[in-house]
Amino acid sequence: MLLSGVRDGVEVEWDIRPRKRAPGAGELSQDARVSASADVSANRRSYHRVVRTLSVSAAAVAAVLAALAVTARTDAAPARPPNVVVILADDERFDTLNRMANVRRLLASHGFTFRNAFVTTSECCPSRASILTGQYSHHTGVVQNFGNASYPEFDERSNLAVWLHAAGYETALVGKYLNDYTVYGHHHIPRGWSRWFAIDSRPEEKYYDYTVNENGKLVHFGTKASDYSTDVLAGKAKRFAKQAREPFFLYFAPITPHLPAIPAPQDIATKLVLPKPRANFDERDLSDKPWRGIYRRIFSFVAVHFLDREIEGRQLRSLREHDRQVGALVETLRQRGVLDRTVIVFASDNGFLWGEHRLGGKIWPYEESIRVPLVVRVRGHPTAWRRDFEVEYLGTSMYEDGGPAPFRAVRAHGWLYVAYLNGWRELYDLRRDPFELRNVASDPRYGVERARLERRLAVLMR
Ligand SMILES: [Ca+2]
């Protein structure tokens, strides 16, 4: 598993590869099985003056975690494996990191910010299944949140928690696990987890009035300020970080900023300057989009501006407490004296459209939907990274509700090519058209490129 890039103008590598692979570990590091990916970006301005960003790279949580898992499984593993903390936001867009001062100050400035990090299926359950396995949805079988081809397809016997636990880690899940895992009962605890504090309500995305499965026992939280789920979950995460036997693996997944995106009490009235809409917001001319005319519900001026002002504002406010709790968790690790031997990964399971192309939500293969924040606090050196990957949505649950038709797509360096299963095609030249405003799939001048991407997609689909 290779992370690479240029930092401060110098080629660096992140040395978390195993020197010798354990039997069976090899599959984790093969390109086609890694679920989130990267392309190579031109130098762009960094979020932050002192942040040490990768200018020629990107990565994914699954890959990082799979790499750590491989390391943990090898004979050549270091004498003292690192503790691993994953902080996973829910539906946080790539361009919201600038609102998170603690993530920047305590994580990014001691590690790396990946500016080209993507998920390969932009929906909660499939993406989380990929994060825990390093596999595409078409390998995990988890292609949607509920119903057919959802949680029951997930292999509870082989995923990151199981691998790390087998390697001697004490493990904890705090927050949102995979949607609908309660199909196996309300006291169910998947294997591999030493501690379990998972939201058990359906839907899981609750800020108040929710039930938690605490190590097999159901505990209800009500509507008082002290029941606010981001804080309750952070409290459990901090307790584990304080007491767990080393090495430990903490997977901390609050609900923020998923809708309804209720901010913490102290943030409800906070004044915010909302970012300027992107150039593809409320896209004027949709004549290039094969789905135009079908998803009318979202096309109205009122709907698009509701996404822009109301949804965006609420999501950004809800992230404020999330960011404070990141600070508190890092402080807990520092006080215990384990911070420098703990790798901390901050990411999101998918992005979210705020009216770009007149769309809202996720699943779609467009940038705002598939790009995610990814920050890793770690010492070390990245090396080479991949330049393309598949984006896929093979479910149907959202189709009637404003989501896309099922598709398979390839996001390559400078290109997005989308093959919907119903025959629609989209192709964007991202160097000329970074906002995906001109679909050139039927332009003969792009025939060679389209054929190349089709061949590449066929390879990635294996
Ligand atoms: Ca999500």
φ/ψ of residue 166, rounded to 5: -65, -25
**Contact yes or no for 256/321 (Cβ under 8 A):** yes
Whether 427 and 449 have beta carbons less than 8 Å apart is answered as yes
Q: How many domains does the chain have?
A: 1
Residues 89/33, Cβ–Cβ less than 8 Å: no
Mean pLDDT of the chain: 83
Q: Residue 67 has what pLDDT?
A: 54
> Cα angle vertex 261, ends 269, 107, to 5°?
90
Question: What is residue 32's predicted lDDT score, i.e. its pLDDT?
Answer: 25
Q: What is the pLDDT of residue 119?
A: 96
Res 24: pLDDT: 31
- pLDDT tier at 371, thresholds 50, 70, 90: very high
7 CA distance to ligand 1 centroid (A)? 30
Q: How many CB atoms lie within 10 A of CB 279?
A: 12
Residue 248 confidence (pLDDT):
98
Average pLDDT for 382-388:
71
DSSP structure string for 385-411: --SEEEEEE---TTGGGT-PPPEEEEE
Residue 453 domain flag: no
Query: Token match 């006291």: residue?
Result: 187
Helices 229-243, 312-336: crossing angle, 10 deg rounding: 20
E strands, 215-341, where?
217-221, 248-253
Residue 51 binned pLDDT confidence (cut-offs 50, 70, 90)? very low
Judge whether residue 442 has pLDDT over 70: yes
Q: What span, in angstroms and rounded, lies between the C-alpha atoms of 224 and 319?
A: 19
**Three-class DSSP labels, 340-383:** HHEEEEEEECCCCEECECCCEECCCCCHHHHECCEEEECCCCCC
Beta-carbon contacts of 71 under 8 Å, excluding residues fewer than 6 positions away, are 16, 17, 18, 77, 78, 81
Q: Packing angle between helix 61-73 and helix 124-133, nearest 10 degrees?
A: 30
Q: Residues 180-189: pLDDT tens digits?
A: 899 899 999 9
Query: What is the pLDDT, as a whole number, of residue 301?
Result: 77
**Which residue do the tokens 């939500």 mark?**
361
Domain annotation covers residue 429: no
Identify the CATH number of the domain in which residue 194 sits: 3.40.720.10
Higher pLDDT residue, 387 or 330?
A: 330
Distance CA 62, CA 44 (A): 25
The sign of the dihedral angle between the CA atoms of 190, 193, 195, 196 is negative
Taking the centre of ligand 1 as the mean of its atom positions, its distance from the CA of residue 86, in whole angstroms, is 15
The one catalytic residue among 124, 160, 241, 372:
124
Rounded CA-CA distance 199/178 in Å is 10
Find the length of the chain: 462
Task: Reply yes or no on whether 124 is catalytic.
Answer: yes
Sign of torsion, CA 80 81 82 85?
negative
Residue 440 has pLDDT above 50, yes or no: yes
CA 442-443-447 angle, to 5 degrees, is: 90
Query: Distance of alpha carbon 15 from its chain centroid, rounded?
Result: 23
Which of 28-37, 223-232, 371-380 ranks highest by mean pLDDT? 223-232
Q: Mean pLDDT throughout 161-165?
A: 97
395 C-alpha vs ligand 1 centroid, how far in Å?
Answer: 15
Per-residue pLDDT reduced to its tens digit, 189-228: 999 999 999 999 988 999 999 999 999 999 999 999 999 9
Cα of 125 to ligand 1 centre, how many Å?
Answer: 7
Residues 6+ apart with CB under 8 A from 324: 102
Name the E strands within 176-293.
195-199, 210-214, 217-221, 248-253
Question: 261 CA distance to ligand 1 centroid (A)?
Answer: 12
Residue 166 has pLDDT above 60, yes or no: yes
Q: What residues are paired with 13 via a beta bridge?
A: 4
Q: Please say whether the beta carbons of 435 and 368 come within 8 A.
A: no
Domain that holds residue 360: 2-387
What is the CA(362)–ligand 1 centre distance, in A? 8
Q: How far is ligand 1, taken at its centre, from the CA of residue 454, in Å?
A: 28
User: Quick one: pLDDT at residue 100?
Assistant: 97
Query: In 181-260, which residue ranges form alpha helices assigned H by DSSP?
Result: 229-243
